């Protein structure tokens, strides 16, 4: 896996191994960042269910001010740290090695807010969690006019009160952009 754009374009990222890991494909990532491109410089980013850190690092490469990576698996969080070091983004980054709910609670208590929130959980996550309740949980750390970018199975329809929702579908995967309206 490589960084596709920005100052770290072409850098290789280490990818964790595991059945539940499903890295965002280059095609989908390119499309996501083509849509978000001009909005990224200077933003504060939250990358939930980070995996390799692929999405947050791409945002940093395009000029995001900072990124918080949330990954509950300690070995996988270690790979994110390695990828950040190899790309030179350790000073702009923070890794929270917790479950996403605990991390959101901590960030909320610290009054942290974000312009962009990437959400790419294992697809089994959607079998036990309502995506609409997930959007409500994240709303507490999403700044006004902020955007949540949720990667999910194509069968899931994303709708959430208080958000303008746009969805792009790529075969069995969809990416929904939920933009806060207030």
Q: How confident is the model over 141-181, as pLDDT tens digits?
A: 999 889 999 888 887 777 777 788 899 999 888 899 998 88
The residue with greater pLDDT, 129 or 141, is 141
**Angle at which helices 74-87 and 54-61 pack, to 10 degrees?**
20
- Contact partners, residue 25, CB within 8 Å, separation at least 6: 170, 173
Q: How far is CA 154 from CA 22, 92, 129, 177, 181, in A?
A: 15, 33, 16, 14, 24
Does residue 1 register a pLDDT over 90?
A: no
Distance CA 6, CA 92 (A): 16
**Domains along the sequence of the chain with CATH:** 24-180 (3.40.50.150)
Q: Are 141 and 114 in contact (CB under 8 A)?
A: yes
The residue with greater pLDDT, 102 or 24, is 102
Average pLDDT rounded to a whole number, residues 69-82: 95
């Amino acid at each position: 896996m490589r960084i596709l754009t920005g100052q770290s374009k072409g850098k290789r990222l280490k990818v964790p191994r595991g059945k539940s890991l499903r890295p965002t494909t280059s095609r989908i990532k390119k499309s996501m960042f083509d849509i978000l491109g001009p909005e990224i410089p200077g933003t504060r980013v939250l990358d939930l269910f980070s995996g390799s850190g692929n999405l947050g690092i791409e945002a940093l490469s395009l000029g995001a001010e900072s990124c918080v990576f949330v990954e509950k698996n300690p070995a996988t969080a270690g790979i994110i740290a390695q990828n950040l070091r190899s790309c030179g983004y350790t000073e702009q980054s923070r890794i929270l090695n917790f479950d996403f709910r605990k991390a959101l609670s901590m960030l909320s208590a610290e009054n942290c807010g974000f312009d962009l929130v990437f959400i790419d959980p294992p697809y089994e996550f959607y079998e036990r969690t309502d995506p609409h309740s997930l959007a409500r949980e994240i709303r507490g750390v999403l700044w006004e006019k902020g955007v949540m970018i949720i990667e999910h199975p194509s069968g899931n329809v994303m709708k959430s009160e208080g958000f303008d929702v746009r969805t792009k579908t790529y075969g069995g995967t969809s990416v929904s952009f939920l933009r806060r309206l207030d």
